[in-house]
Structure 1
Amino acid sequence: MKQLLFILLFTPLLIWSQSNFEKAEKLFHVKKYDEAQLLFEAILKTRPSDIKTIEYLGEIAAYHKSWIKAGEYYKKLKELKPTEAEYFYKYGGALAMRAMEVNKLKAFGLVEDMKGAFEKAIVLNPKHIPARWALIELYLQLPGILGGSESKALSYSNELAALSLVDGYMSKGRIDEYFKRYASAEKYYIKANEIGKSKTTFQKLYNLYLNKLKDPKKARELKQKFESS
C-alpha cells in the first residue's frame, strides 16, 4: 500500500520534471537562456542535486557574467562530483572572472581558491590544457609578493608543450609578450602559427605585429597569407 501511494504521489512529479527538463534543454540550445533559466530553477527545487540542471544554470550564469552565482553552481557541482576535472576548472574560472570585477584586496582573497581549483583539475585530468593556461595567466598577473612567478608560469608552459606543441609555443610567446620581450614572442608565435595554422595562432601573431611591434607591413603580409590559404 505504501509503495502504491509513493507511485501515485511522485510519478506525476517526476514526469513533470523530466518534461520541463527537456523543454529547458531545448531553450538553452537555441540560446533562449532567460526562459531556460526559469525552468531549470523550478526543476532544481524538486531535484536539488541534479547535476545536469546545476551545470546548465552555471552556464547560464556565466553567459550573463553573474560570476558569484556561477561560482556557487560550480562549487556545488565539484562537491557533488569531486572526480570531475571540468567542474573544478569552471569553478576556478568563475572565481577568476569575479576577481577581475572587484578591488585588488578582494581579488587577492580569491587567489588560493583559484589556484587550488585549477591545480585539482590537473590532478584529476593530467591532460587538462585550459587549466594550465589559467595557471600561467595567474602566475603572470599576480604580484611577486602574492606568489606571482615567471618560473612557475614557464613550468606550466613546459607541461603544455609536452601535451601540445602549439600550446607550448603559444604559452611561451604569451609569457615573453607579457614581459615585453616582443622579438622572442614573435619567434614563438611564428612557430605556433606554422604548426597550428588556425585563426587563433594567426590572430596572436597579427596582434603582436600590429599593436606591440608596430609593424603594419608584417601584419598586412601575414593577413594576406592567412586569407589566401
Structure 2
Amino acid sequence: MKIIQLFLILLSFSAFSQSNFEKAEKLYAQKKYYDAEKVFKEHLKTQPNHAKTLEYLGDIAGHQKKWDEAIIHYKKLKNSFPKAANYWYKYGGALGMKAKESNKFKALGMIDEVEESFLTAAKLDAKHVETRWALVMLYIELPAIIGGSEKKAQKYATELMTLSKVDGYLAKGYIDVYFSRYTNAEVNYKKAHEIGNSKTTFEKLYDLYLNKLKDKSKANKLKLEFENK
C-alpha cells in the first residue's frame, strides 16, 4: 500500500513539474519573459539539469541583455552536451555580446573564446546557418590586428551559399556594404530578394537603395512592388 501511495505522490509531482514547464513555455511564446523566467526557475528547482529549461533561461537572459546570466546557463549546457553545436553557438553569442559592451581591454581577453566557440559549433554541425552568420560578422567587425579578415568572412559566406542561397547572398551583400561596395551589394541583395522575397530581403535592399545608394526612385519602386506582391 505504501508503495502505491509513493507512486501516486511521485506521479502527481511529475505532472505538476510538467505543467509548470508547459506554462512557462506558453508565457515565453507570448514574449512574457519576466513571468516565464519565474516559472522556469521554479521548474529548475525540481529538475536542476533540465536542458531545455536552462536553454530557455539563457534565451530570456539574452532578451534582457543579462549576458552574465546567459553565459552561465549556456556554459553549463555546452559542458554537459559538448557535441551540441547550438549550445556552443549560443554560448559564443552571449560571450560576444558581453565583449561588445565591455571596455576594449576586457573585450580583447574574450575574443579568442568567442571565436573558438563559433568554430566549434561550425565543426560540430556543417549545416548550422546561424553559426556561419556569426563567423561572417565576427571576422568582418574585428580589426585585422586581432583576427579580423574579409577572406575568412567570405569563406563562411560561401558555406552559407551552399546551405541557403538567400543567406549566402545576404551574407555577401553584408560584407559588400561593410566595405562600401554598394554596387556589388545591390547585386547580391537583389539576388537574395528574387529568391526569398521576404520582409528581411526587402528591408536589406530597401535600406541599401535609400540610405547607401541614395536612390529614392529605386527604393520607392521596390517598396511598391513588395507591398503589392
Shift of 1:129: 1.1
Letter in 2 for 1:194: E
Q: Which residue of 2 is the match for residue 56 of structure 1?
A: 56
Q: Equivalent pairs: percent with the same residue?
A: 54
Shift of 1:205: 1.0
Q: TM-score, normalised by structure 1?
A: 0.90
Structure 2 residue 121 is the aligned partner of structure 1 residue 121:
yes
Q: Specify the alignment match of 2:68 in structure 1.
A: 68
Across the aligned residues of Structure 1 and Structure 2, the Cα RMSD in angstroms comes to: 2.3
When normalised by structure 2's length, the TM-score is: 0.90
Q: In structure 1, the residue corresponding to 2:214 is in which secondary structure?
A: coil
Alpha-carbon distance between aligned partners in 2 of 1:24 and 1:163, rounded to the nearest angstrom: 33
- For residue 32 of structure 1, report the CA deviation from its aligned partner: 2.7
Is 1:42–2:42 an aligned residue pair?
yes
**Matches of residues 22-171 of structure 1 in structure 2 within 5 Å?**
22-171=22-171
Partner of 2:191: 191
Deviation at 1:141, TM superposition (A): 0.6
Note the alpha carbon deviations across 1:139-159, whole angstroms, 9 max, x for none.
011011100001111111111
Residue 20 of structure 1: aligned partner: 20
The alpha-carbon deviation at position 9 of structure 1 amounts to 8.2
Deviation of 1:218 after TM superposition, in Å, equals 1.1
Q: How much does 1:70 deviate?
A: 0.9
Question: 2:88 is matched by which residue type in structure 1?
Answer: F
Query: Residues 79, 221 of structure 1: CA spacing in aligned structure 2 closer, same or farther, 3 A cutoff?
Result: same
Q: Distance in 2 between matches of 1:36 and 1:78?
A: 23
Aligned-partner SS, 2:82: coil
Secondary structure of the residue aligned to 2:148 is: coil
Task: From the superposition, tell whether residues 27 and 144 of structure 1 become closer, same or farther in structure 2 (CA, over 3 Å).
Answer: same
Q: Is the 8 A contact 1:49 1:80 kept in 2?
A: no
- 1:219 positional shift: 0.8
Distance (whole Å) between structure 1 residues aligned to residue 29 and residue 59 of structure 2: 11
Partner Cα distance (1:94, 1:190) in 2: 32
How far, CA to CA, are the matches of 1:110 and 1:171 in structure 2? 24
The answer on 1:205 being equivalent to 2:205 is yes
| Alignment CA distance shift 1:105-1:5 (3 Å) | farther
Matched, 1:179 2:179: yes
Rounded to whole Å, the distance in 2 between the matches of 1:91 and 1:110 is 12
Distance in 2 separating the partners of 1:197 and 1:8 = 55
User: What SS does structure 2 have at the residue aligned with 1:117?
Assistant: helix
| 2:146 partner letter | L
| Aligned counterparts of 1:166 and 1:27: Cα–Cα separation in 2 | 32
Q: Distance in 2 between matches of 1:67 and 1:129?
A: 22
Aligned length: 229
Going from structure 1 to structure 2, the CA distance change for 1:7 and 1:148 (only over 3 Å counts) comes to: same
CA shift, 1:197, in A, is 1.3
Tell me the CA shift for residue 167 of structure 1. 1.7
Cα distance change of structure 1 residues 174 and 28 upon mapping to structure 2, 3 Å threshold = closer
SS at match of 2:62: helix
Task: Give how far 1:13 is off.
Answer: 4.9
Q: Which amino acid aligns with 2:51?
A: I
Q: d(CA) in 1 for partners of 2:32 and 2:198?
A: 30
SS state at 1:58 partner: helix
Instruction: Indicate how the Cα distance of structure 1 residues 218 and 8 shifts in structure 2: closer, same or farther if over 3 A, else same.
Output: closer
What are structure 2's unaligned runs of at least 5 residues? none
Deviation at 1:6, TM superposition (A): 7.7
Q: Which moved more, 1:144-153 or 1:181-190?
A: 181-190
